[in-house]
Amino acid sequence: MHLSSIFVGLAGLLASASASPTNNTVYKHFDCGVDLSHASDHFNKTVRQMHQGVFKAHSGTQMAGHAVRAAAAGPITVNVAFHIVTTAAKAGTITQKMADAQLATMNRAYKASGVQFNRIATTFTVNDAWAVGAGNDATAMKTALRNGTYSTHNIYFMTDLTGSILGTCSLPSDIGPGTPDPSTYVTDGCMIQANTMPGGNIYGFNLGMTAVHETGHWMGLLHTFEGYSCTGNGDFIADTPMQSTSTDGCPSKPPKDSCPTVAGIDAIHNYMDYSDDSCYTGFTADQNKRMSNMWSTYRLGR
């Protein structure tokens, strides 16, 4: 692992969380806002073709100038850059130890998926506006801090993330042929409430699983309850049951079943639901395959 720590001093995403003694903010029920309505037309077309199996028969076929590729051969190594952004009042509250634990959590969570995260940078920035990330401040932050290419996963851990959400992230999209200018993908990546990291102070959501969930979006996955319906394509994953509501907490007894007329109970332990951190256990086999296909199609070598 190549790790560089950059200390930058600048003047200057999800279920309703029970307040801890040190954090009285009430966070929205995950509410990361990542769904097909916010995805590019290219992603919408690609996810449907992958679900229908079209890409299997036409691997390498050009779609809008970009190839739809089959699953990556072997394990996937993703370079990742962590950016810790705090207000002046909270400087020093998010530590290198928390960042190290977050990386370990992500690697444990994705091990069964054949994905490994190689951290290439950890930056620490003090900037009151960027720690909130409202409007143009988020773009300014990413423009200044982003590391690597389109295949580099940049995660911005912000102490006062706007909207009282735990995190949000970008889905992959076609950025054009060749080697595009970095300005075309500068906003790519995840913005996450920093206190969701292991050791943070958001009770119920401080085991590092928000970054695991949001990274699933970055790898091309939708929520298990996409569409909030018991009919249709849902999340376009064959082996996740239909689910019409997101999950709050970890309601295992009795099992949560928002689509009782359809086979299967809600996948409350799936990383792409909105459950508490301690409720999560993993992805499905088809989700793993989808991430591999999406990686090969959108990010590999970009």
Cα separations (Å) of 13 from 66, 183, 211? 30, 24, 8
Picking from 50, 68, 28, 41, the residue whose alpha carbon sits closest to that of residue 235 is: 50
In the chain, helix, strand, coil percent, each to 5?
Answer: 30, 15, 55
**Cβ–Cβ < 8 Å for 167, 213:** yes
Query: Does residue 226 carry a catalytic annotation?
Result: no
Catalytic residue (choose from 128, 160, 214, 276)? 214
Report d(CA 23, CA 10) in Å as an integer. 25
Question: And the tokens for 162?
Answer: 């706007």
In 58-135, alpha helices (H)? 96-110
Q: What letters, b where the CB count within 10 A reaches 16 and e where it falls short, cover 238-253?
A: eebbbbbebbbbbeee
Q: What is the DSSP string of 218-271?
A: HTTPPPTTTTSSSSS-TTS-TTS---SS---S--TTTTP-S-TTSSS---TTBT
Burial class of residue 21 (count of CB atoms within 10 Å of its CB; 0-12, 13-18, 19+): exposed
Cis ω before 21 (30° cut-off from 0): no
Q: Are strands 76-86 and 153-158 parallel, antiparallel or unpaired?
A: parallel
211 vs 192: CA distance, rounded Å: 7
Give catalytic residues, as residue numbers. Answer: 214
